[in-house]
Structure 1
Amino acid sequence: MIKGFIFDLDGVITDTAALHYVAWKKMADEMGWAFDHDVNDKLRGISRTDSIKVILEHNNTTLEEHKLEELAAKKNDIYVASLETMTSEDYLPGAKALLTHLRTEGFAVALGSASKNAEKVLKQLNANPYFDVIGDGHSVSNSKPAPDIFLFGAEKMKLQPEECIVFEDAESGIDAAKAGGFYSVGIGPEERVGHADLRFDTMEQATLFEVKAYFKELF
């Protein structure tokens, strides 16, 4: 029986992709590196340090570890400053309604995000009341596609992986859900999250009714 839901943050609850892109672009420009939306797409769902490594690989360059950390901090400062513009109106369409329905029906709900700024984003959205557990980039050492963040959420909710459904918009996130033994709902195109148990193009389509209809043997 499904008793809990675990949600990624960026691209599922809200869309901070544009803010991330601007921050990465500014950092890359300052370093004289090539950076565009194709490279940005490869950063979806992975940690800040791993993101810089992807950018470095794209530019056929390397940096010492201390410089990586310095650039990660610089990018984060740019991004965090931009979060001040977020409000409680910035949920993705359908996300707030789904979270509300889950609360009404008594399901346990956790956040499972690689972001180290998740608490700030939730505060800006006024979303904390919807979550029983907050799992973020500070909660575990291994980021997606390792399943650790989802296992953390399930453990804190006192549930087994097979009692939870994970919502993700990143390929690495679906990989992580599968590796941990969770059921998965992918949000986004077939080529990115088509390997999820169930896929929707948008969160607006991913209603609790549709999810229950598909996983009817589990409710």
Structure 2
Amino acid sequence: MQFDNIRGFLFDLDGVITDTAALHAKAWAGICQRLGIPWTDALAEGTKGVSRMDSLEVILKSVNRQDEFTMAQKAQMATEKNDRYQELITHLTASDILPGMKDFITDLKQHNYQLALASASRNAPTVLKYLGLSDVFPKIVDPSNLTKGKPDPEIYQHAAALLNLEPGQCIGVEDAPAGVASIKAAGAIAVGIGDAHDLAQADVVFPGTASLTLTALRGKLEDGVLNA
């Protein structure tokens, strides 16, 4: 695989640059408690990397209550969750950037790679602000312009287009199966962060952000050390 053909990197946010999963979980758990729905690890995983309304559907379907509420009621629940989440993210600082990611991003910039953020979260610009990374990601996909969520490729197609690149000229970085599927469907190279079994569709998997470096990534891709 010719690494020299790569011109851009497309990043998910949650679980890749910072771990806001616990904050999302805390906010969703509050909604579940009010509705009398058990908040489980399966729900935490099922809502990972997908949009707010899709997450709510996952939660309601887990107890077969998806038809119990009107769209207006669902929108209110999603707003309630988001309000709580926005309160929680105000406590984020640069110290909440995941291990190794600041160095990795800096290395990419120094090697003149273009960067874009492909997060389903409408709060991504706010999170970047508190992390001190706003200047690093001037190109951010606006989820309100999308018609489909991950694993559909739309978000990564948009991210590549923001950089005036084809997806095949880009590498996407994700920690969720739905995100990896989105990258692959778009035609980009998929780098997974996490468990190799869960992220089996990725081209390369690193166990954590600390092990993801430009040198290691280039070596694995050029040597063909890909995830089976």
The TM-score range, normalised by the shorter chain, is: over 0.9
Q: CA deviation at 1:67?
A: 1.1
Q: Which moved more, 1:187-196 or 1:16-25?
A: 187-196
Does 1:213 pair with 2:197? Answer: no
Give, in whole Å, the separation in 2 of the partners of 1:127 and 1:155: 21
Q: What is the letter of the counterpart of residue 49 of structure 1?
A: M
Misfit runs of 4+, over 6 Å = none
Q: What is the letter of the counterpart of residue 93 of structure 2?
A: T
Given candidates 130, 135, 140, the residue that maps to 1:124 is 130
1:40 maps to what in 2? 44
Q: CA deviation at 1:33?
A: 1.2
Q: CA deviation at 1:137?
A: 2.2
1:75 maps to what in 2? 81
Does 1:108 pair with 2:114? Answer: yes
Alignment of 1:12-161 (within 5 A): 12-62=16-66, 63-161=69-167
Q: What is the letter of the counterpart of residue 130 of structure 1?
A: V
Q: What is the letter of the counterpart of residue 43 of structure 1?
A: T
Q: What is the letter of the counterpart of residue 9 of structure 1?
A: L
1:171 maps to what in 2? 177
Q: Which runs of 5+ in 2 are unaligned?
A: none
Counterpart secondary structure, 1:165 = strand
1:8 maps to what in 2? 12
Give, in whole Å, the separation in 1 of the partners of 2:139 and 2:223: 26
- The alignment's TM-score, normalised by the length of structure 2, stands at 0.92
Q: Which moved more, 1:8-17 or 1:130-139?
A: 130-139
Counterpart secondary structure, 2:37 = coil
Give, in whole Å, the separation in 2 of the partners of 1:209 and 1:22: 36
Give, in whole Å, the separation in 2 of the partners of 1:57 and 1:33: 11
- The alignment's TM-score, normalised by the length of structure 1, stands at 0.96
Give, in whole Å, the separation in 2 of the partners of 1:215 and 1:163: 14
Q: Which runs of 5+ in 1 are unaligned?
A: none
RMSD across aligned positions (CA): 1.4
Give, in whole Å, the separation in 2 of the partners of 1:155 and 1:200: 26
Contact 1:132 1:157 (C-alpha < 8 Å) held by counterparts: no
